[in-house]
Amino acid sequence: MTQLDGRLAGQVALVSGAGRGIGRATAHKLAADGARLVLNDLDPEPLAGVASEIRALGGAVETHAGDAGDPRFGDAMVGLALEAFGAVDIIVNNAGYSWDNVIQKTSDEQFQTMLDVHCLSSFRLLRAASEPMRTAAKQDAERGETRHRKVVNVSSLSGIFGNPGQVGYAAAKAAIVGMTKTLAKEWGRYRINVNAVAFGHIATRLSQPMDTPEAETQIGARRIRLGIPRIAAERDKGCGILGRDGTVEDAAGGIWLLCQPESDYITGHVLEVSGGLAF
């Protein structure tokens, strides 16, 4: 692979939460299709590992390690993309994690954190990218060219159907759907396609049983228990029409589809990537 291979050759893609799981698989898939990457993750070590993997295959990558909930996150990502590559063509808002509980046991801090890391971080990145993306679209029009740029926001079936024990997470993922549909209408005249993917049961840290040792992470000063209750994990396992859980590659494939030229007439859409699972 070289950075000139593929149908996304020369395009610049920003992917948040790219150190593990779906974000990592998405970074690899976009790079294999020729995109130059600006990757973010909270954890520097896995982020550096992904960047090294892609560079070893000939891809062009810049990284920004840091919390997507930081107010400076959006400006930092867009600034890095413009400095390194001079453009922003694709944005994948993937960063996030679950911090679950039933409503009577959910604190204000817990609820607000879910809104911040999933929805507010996506808003800030898109707001920061608005000026360079719109300016590039106007320059295309002046040259008589038509180019489509792509935004893919990561939601969840929880944000569409709700899910017990996920009042904060589901509210944040539902907000992403509303933001997606609004920006599709605001940015349609600039040929910026804004879509979302809603994942079902994808095999990641967020879908494993909460009582496994791996289902814990450090977020700032807090230890967060990730995953879902074991009874729910066992209930949902293989429950989609296809009879199996999704892989991170399956999830990345849905994102990749919405970055391709074939999606140029698709905008404001929420693509369910769930193997047919419906809550």
pLDDT in tens, 136-146: 999 999 999 99
Is the predicted pLDDT of residue 153 greater than 70, yes or no? yes
User: What's the one-letter identity of residue 176?
Assistant: I
User: What's the one-letter identity of residue 69?
Assistant: G
Predicted confidence at residue 22, as pLDDT, reads 96
C-alpha span between 278 and 266 (Å, rounded): 23
Q: pLDDT tens, 31-77?
A: 999 999 999 999 999 999 999 999 999 999 999 999 999 999 999 99
Give all strands (DSSP E) within 148-226, no chain letters: 149-156, 192-199, 216-219, 222-225
The average pLDDT across 112-117 equals 94
CB count in 10 Å sphere of residue 275 = 19
Q: Report pTM.
A: 0.91
- What the block records as the tokens of 191 is 């040929």
Q: Are 51 and 29 in contact (CB under 8 A)?
A: no
Tell me the CATH number of domain 12-202+246-273, given options 3.20.20.10, 3.30.70.270, 1.10.1740.10, 3.40.50.720. Answer: 3.40.50.720
Predicted confidence at residue 279, as pLDDT, reads 60
Active-site residue set: 169
Domain positions in the chain are 12-202+246-273
